[in-house]
Amino acid sequence: MQPSKWEKLPFAIGKLKEEGCDVFSGRWVRDEVTRPLYDESDCPYIQPQLTCQEHGRPDRSYQYWRWQPHGCDLPSFNASLMLETLRGKRMMFVGDSLNRGQYVSMICLLHSLIPDEEKSMETFDSLTVFTAKEYNATIEFYWAPFLLESNSDNAVIHRISDRIVRRGSINKHGRKWKGVDIMVFNTYLWWMTGLNMKILQGSFEDEVQDIVELSTEDAYRMAMKSMLRWVRKNMNPKKTRVFFTSMSPSHGKSIDWGGEEGGNCYNQTTLIQDPNYWGSDSRKSIMEVIGDVFGQSKFPITFLNITQLSSYRRDAHTSIYKKQWTPLTSEQLANPVSYADCVHWCMPGLQDTWNELLFTKLFYPY
């Protein structure tokens, strides 16, 4: 993003020392001094499906990695600067459970500066709101796994195998996003149901539903264009910022990284060393759609390109060390690979790095 294209971006306070440095290209460095940025037990907001220590993970090695860009250093995450910037403002994360993880990470990075009686967290259906009262600030999460209206929009009960997304329906959720100052979108995982996606042309209330199938790429393009149209109509580029977090990689097949067949992230405690590693779960064609659509955007969208740097982190998933919502069978217990979660990430951990990158791009975008 060239400064000439978008004059000065809101919230920018300076430039990186090495101007134009690609902060998303780099390597993971072991760091037992400054990592982790907070302790799992010190952040009561982490959902039980992300607290890996509490659920028996024997090692902590995943907590001690710092992202080091090749061309520069990331500025340290400054929680008081972030909170001061949010004074009188709303920050919102909109998307699926991976975006919820990034949202909770942001709260964990900030909450220790706020006295207990000055903060609260409440949930209203699809919306979760963390309030820092003294700052008159909110950090919010809104559940919309496709951004558009879908049959998976219930924030609690959304395990639906036959997913349907309604065309042209962004305002269904978007009316709850109005007035936000810093917006962070993501959507990817829920589109990955196969090669095609079911798209509803009318309303979910119609007696006879008019459903067409589009390729996943075309359906995703439709959603990206809807999102940008909503942003253009409802956000002010002189006062607000919009981020989009790229796809979060999963590590469901160890043959991807040269491991044995039938394995996954279970028992992985080391990083993938190949700098060009790209897992089979991350569709390059979707990345191309994003690049294509954002390239034509009239509104400055800051792209948080976390896919490559996260793809090295087969060690950082929750695996089996999380709250199980249904009791495990004896077959599962005998074969942990069968129920390891290789999608979500332990906290503290990788998603704190995503927020360090968000922090960098918010304040030092050039």
- Phi and psi, residue 122, nearest 5°: -135, 150
Write the CB contacts of 315 (distance below 8 Å, at least 6 apart in sequence). 61, 62, 265, 268, 269, 270, 271
Tokens of 2: 């060239």
Q: Could you tell me the CA-to-CA distances from 33 to 105, 137, 214 in Å, in that order?
A: 19, 31, 49
C-beta of residue 171 within 8 angstroms of C-beta of residue 230: yes
Residue the block writes with tokens 């990592």: 35
**CA angle at residue 158 from 156 to 160, to 5 degrees?**
160
C-beta of residue 29 within 8 angstroms of C-beta of residue 60: no
Amino acid type, 336: P
96, 97, 111, 248: the catalytic one is 97
111, 173, 251, 344: the catalytic one is 344
- Asked if 97 is an active-site residue, the reply is yes
96, 181, 256, 341: the catalytic one is 341
Write the CB contacts of 193 (distance below 8 Å, at least 6 apart in sequence). 163, 216
The DSSP bridge pattern shows strands 90-95 and 137-143 to be parallel
- Asked if 274 is an active-site residue, the reply is no
Amino acid type, 253: K
Write the CB contacts of 307 (distance below 8 Å, at least 6 apart in sequence). 246, 247, 248, 249, 282, 287
Residue 195: count of CB within 10 angstroms of its CB: 9
Tokens of 99: 């975006």
Alpha-carbon distance of 330 to 149, in angstroms, equals 38
- Asked if 344 is an active-site residue, the reply is yes
Which residues are 90's β-sheet partners? 138
CA proximity to 95, closest of 247, 311, 216, 251: 247
Burial class (CB in 10 A: 0-12, 13-18, 19+), 34: exposed
Q: Could you tell me the CA-to-CA distances from 336 to 263, 317, 333 in Å, in that order?
A: 10, 14, 6
Give the residue numbers annotated as catalytic, written as ranges: 97, 341, 344
